[in-house]
Chains A and B, each alone.
Chain A
């Protein structure tokens, strides 16, 4: 079945440093979504990417979909303590009808 892997699994950064998490799929994806789950909370939808090479920005967050549509990244500039949480990517395969979630990257921001 479709597998979506994320690296790193954990990341600790000093407040103000940048952070990047990478998402890799074993198969081509038609869509990819990103979610954030705060500690003790539920996943919250952040964004969806559809086009090859697409780049979208939300304030300090930059999302990118790879040219081959098999990988994606989320970059946070100048992290803040409010960025703490686990970031999940979720990929939709070409023949699938539901998203498979990646393993997640847990971000800790040290004040």
Chain B
């Protein structure tokens, strides 16, 4: 157990639907990061939050959005889902804003059918 909790572990949904992925960071970590990993692909950075505020955006689609709540948990919302959105979505957390090692959760595997 890395200390980063992601739910659900698996999600199967139809095209056009909307889903919410949830992440609870490791205790004491203020930064939360979301990454997308497609089959045999690397980790694509989506978005970062630090202590409730958005800090950096990567290749996140307009159909996707995220937020970090006062208790520091984060949610990634994926809407108008397409087949190509099927992937493993990882949340990671770190102590500070920059330069700390990331602790990854076990991921949410999203399958869009």
**Contact residues of A with B, CB < 8 Å?**
30-31, 33, 35, 41-45, 48, 50, 88, 90, 92, 96-104
Contact = CB atoms under 8 A, between A and B. Distances in A.
Nearest to B35: A101
Contacts of B25: none
Contacts of A33: 101-102
Do most interface residues of chain A lie in helix, strand or loop, or is the interface mixed?
strand
A92 B101 CA distance: 11
Contact of A97 (B42, B43, B55, B101): B55
A88 to B, nearest CB: 7
Contacts of B55: 97-98
Contacts of B107: 42
A88 B43 contact: yes
